[in-house]
Structure 1
Amino acid sequence: MRLVTTKSLKENDTLSKPVFHDNGNILIQAGIPLSQRIINRLIKLGIAFVYIHDDITKDIEVKNAITDETRVEAINTIKKEFAEIENHHIIGESLNTIHLSKNFAKVVQKILTDIKKSNDVISILSDVYCYDSYIFTHSLNVTIYTIGLGMELKFNEKQLFEIGLGAILHDVGKLMVPKEILEKNGRLTNEEFEIIKNHSRAGFDLLRNAPNISLITAHCAFQHHERLNGSGYPQGISGDQIHLYAKILAVADVFDAVTSNRVYRKAMLPHEGLEILYAGADTLFDKQIVEMFSRTVAIYPTGLTVYLSDGRKGVVSRQNKFLSMRPFIRIIEHAGARVEPYEVDLLKDRHVTIIECEARLGVY
């Protein structure tokens, strides 16, 4: 299968992976030739990338970070619990948080189990889903990235669970922000940005009073927008004043934000998101965490068509667990001419680099 932008789709292209709604129902089935009407629907749904059938890449498989069952349960739990929190906030009633910690703990444990079983770098692009709300998918994606990074850092079970629970709830304070500000299509005013910034403290206040949620987990919500140089919020703390969990969350949070579709900006590809993290390494983000993150996620997703520095063109055929920035490439062209496909391991061919991605160019 090959990864392409929805805007580059042509009539009669065939999806290799179906498009799901977050409740688990299939919106667009795989294996059926696409009409222009269906292509337009994919674009309208805000789906940036899809996998299509391609004879040269038909044997290439994309591995999910978590199972479809876990994903559906996680999203439904986030939707249900977040809706209850939001409703209590609107009507001004106090919230019974006993079930909150219990239900999210169950989901985090399932995500943790799935990631341990996968034994591969993490690729969120491999999961083609349509979501009702950005905050639902963002909370889940950040949890997956965070747990994966925690495993790379050799966290024990208790630490993985703590940071996983903190990750899935890190943006819970945004439920207290008016939707017209949170989903504004355009530049925020200074006053609106101050309201947005309040979500960190609001989330912390909610979580620190919830039973079975540790103060460290609550600090994931409180500190995930703090930055190494003190330029973050809500406290403007810096360096070692920021908890390690929050430093990890900051990296996962920003990466998922820039690689997801938003009302005001199209999704970047993972390697572009990583460039933003490296640009802020040692000033905004912990450099060691950024470097470990680059080994945890699929910087060039499987199925992506890429151009190499020596004039060859190929498709990412599988990931390199030892260094995800240098995956295996199935070469299909050289100097513009078709060649018999063959595999190249960029971890071994160090003189060759990826210089461009076709999905970003919008052609295939």
Structure 2
Amino acid sequence: MRLISINILKSGMKIGRTIYNEAGHPLLKADAIVSDRIIERLKQLNIRYVYIDDLISSGIEVEESVPTEKRMKIVNQITDSFHKIKGLNFKDASLVLDKQSKVIGVIVDDLLDSILNSEEILTVLTDAFLYDEYLYQHSFQVTLYSLAIAKELGYSSNDLRNIGIGAMLHDVGKLMVPTSILLKPGRLSDEEYETMKHHTTYGFEILRNLHTISLLVAHCAFQHHERLDGSGYPRGLVDYEIHPYAKVIAVADVFDAVTSNRVYREKMLPSQGICIIDAGSGTLYDAKVVEALKRSVVHYPNGTIVMLSDGRRGVVAKQNIADSSRPIIRIFEENQILLKATYILNLLEVTNLKILKVETEYVIGVE
């Protein structure tokens, strides 16, 4: 299967990967044949990309690091835990969250077990799922990215668990932000943005009073929007003043934010998100954390069409664990001519070539 933009999805194409809603129910199953009506509905649902099955991508598998069933169960558990504190004051929210801490710890342990026991590069496919509220899937995905980064950095098992819980709860303060701002389907005004920024302090106030969770977790919520150069919030901390856990979660948070569906802007592909993070390495974000992100997540997901620096086009067929930025490509076009037979090119073995761009709107056989 391969990834294409919704803009070039045509009636008669076959869906390659099931799209689910937040309850885990399939909205559009794999192997479904697309109609004009389906395309219109997907656009209404803000779907940016879909996987399709066709001849040039036949046999290419696309799998998430966390299986669909487990993901749905965890997101529902996060949703349930967060809903229990919605509308409460800080003191009551802390008391309720204290009771939920065991559930949160079990979730983090489960995800940690998955990541520690896998040699694969982390793959998170946000377009295979739809959620009414961004906060819950974001909390799940930031936890995954944070654990993958922290594992790559060599943190101890105790540190990994604290980072995982900190990532899971990093945005809990948003539950204290007015719903009209939190769920606004467009960009926030300057005044609304200032209100939204308080979520870091709100989160700290909730978490610092928990008896069952380390105080370090509260600082993850407090500091995940701080930046090395002092341009972050809420306190404008600089490099040495920011806790290492918060530096990890800051990178995971931004990476997920730019690579996830939002109503008010086009989501980026992983390779684009990595470029955004990389541009701030050493100034906004800790350089070691950025490098760990680059080593631990998939840059070009399987099924992505790419153009190489010599003009050849191909589909990403497989990942190279040794360097996730240089995958194995199934070449299908040379000199703008479709080949009668495709062949495999391993970018780790061809050092003079690089990926120039991802082409999700490329129509096969049309320049």
SS of the residue corresponding to residue 341 of structure 1 reads strand
CA distance in 2, matches of 1:158, 1:92: 28
CA distance in 1, matches of 2:274, 2:94: 40
Q: 1:220 to 1:92 in 2, by over 3 A?
A: closer
Task: Give the drift of 1:9.
Answer: 0.8
Aligned equivalent of 1:253: 253
Aligned equivalent of 2:346: 345
Q: Tell me the amino acid that sits aligned with residue 5 of structure 2.
A: T
SS of the residue corresponding to residue 306 of structure 1 reads strand
Aligned equivalent of 1:285: 285
* Residue 41 of structure 2 is aligned to residue 41 of structure 1: yes
Task: Give the drift of 1:98.
Answer: 2.8
Q: Over residues 88-117 of structure 1, what are the superposed CA-to-partner deviations in whole Å (9 max), with x where a residue is unaligned?
A: 249987742332211111111111122233
Aligned equivalent of 2:313: 313
Q: Tell me the amino acid that sits aligned with residue 273 of structure 1.
A: G
> What is the 5 A alignment of 1:183-194?
183-194=183-194
SS of the residue corresponding to residue 88 of structure 1 reads coil
Q: Tell me the amino acid that sits aligned with residue 175 of structure 1.
A: L
Q: Tell me the amino acid that sits aligned with residue 181 of structure 2.
A: I
Aligned equivalent of 1:132: 132
CA contact (8 A) 1:70 1:110 kept: no
> What is the 5 A alignment of 1:254-273?
254-273=254-273
Q: Over residues 207-247 of structure 1, what are the superposed CA-to-partner deviations in whole Å (9 max), with x where a residue is unaligned?
A: 11122210111111110000000111111111111111111
CA distance in 1, matches of 2:240, 2:284: 13
Task: Give the drift of 1:302.
Answer: 0.8
Query: 85-94 or 301-310: which moved more?
Result: 85-94
CA distance in 2, matches of 1:37, 1:28: 12
* Residue 360 of structure 2 is aligned to residue 334 of structure 1: no
* TM-score normalized by the length of structure 1: 0.95
CA distance in 1, matches of 2:23, 2:279: 37
Task: Give the drift of 1:178.
Answer: 1.1
CA contact (8 A) 1:258 1:267 kept: yes
Task: Provide the aligned length of Structure 1 versus Structure 2.
Answer: 363
CA distance in 1, matches of 2:328, 2:126: 17
CA distance in 1, matches of 2:173, 2:350: 47
CA distance in 2, matches of 1:294, 1:261: 21
CA contact (8 A) 1:115 1:148 kept: yes
CA contact (8 A) 1:64 1:127 kept: no
Aligned equivalent of 2:355: 354
Q: 1:263 to 1:23 in 2, by over 3 A?
A: same
CA distance in 2, matches of 1:263, 1:362: 24
- % identical aligned pairs: 45
CA contact (8 A) 2:94 2:207 kept: no
CA contact (8 A) 2:317 2:329 kept: yes
CA distance in 1, matches of 2:91, 2:203: 18
* Root mean square deviation of aligned Cα: 1.9
CA contact (8 A) 1:226 1:238 kept: yes
Aligned equivalent of 1:87: 87
* Residue 51 of structure 2 is aligned to residue 51 of structure 1: yes
Q: Tell me the amino acid that sits aligned with residue 349 of structure 1.
A: V
Task: Give the drift of 1:187.
Answer: 4.6
* Residue 101 of structure 2 is aligned to residue 101 of structure 1: yes
Q: Tell me the amino acid that sits aligned with residue 141 of structure 1.
A: Q
Q: Tell me the amino acid that sits aligned with residue 36 of structure 1.
A: D
SS of the residue corresponding to residue 105 of structure 2 reads helix
> What is the 5 A alignment of 1:184-223?
184-223=184-223
Q: 1:93 to 1:81 in 2, by over 3 A?
A: closer
Aligned equivalent of 2:117: 117
Q: 1:265 to 1:126 in 2, by over 3 A?
A: closer
Q: 1:155 to 1:93 in 2, by over 3 A?
A: closer
CA contact (8 A) 1:85 1:95 kept: no
Q: Over residues 16-43 of structure 1, what are the superposed CA-to-partner deviations in whole Å (9 max), with x where a residue is unaligned?
A: 2111112221111111211111122222
SS of the residue corresponding to residue 87 of structure 1 reads coil
Q: Tell me the amino acid that sits aligned with residue 330 of structure 1.
A: R
CA distance in 2, matches of 1:297, 1:181: 31
Task: Give the drift of 1:292.
Answer: 1.5
Q: 1:323 to 1:130 in 2, by over 3 A?
A: same
Q: Over residues 144-180 of structure 1, what are the superposed CA-to-partner deviations in whole Å (9 max), with x where a residue is unaligned?
A: 1111111111122111111011101100001111122
CA contact (8 A) 1:186 1:264 kept: yes
Q: Over residues 326-349 of structure 1, what are the superposed CA-to-partner deviations in whole Å (9 max), with x where a residue is unaligned?
A: 111110000111222111111221
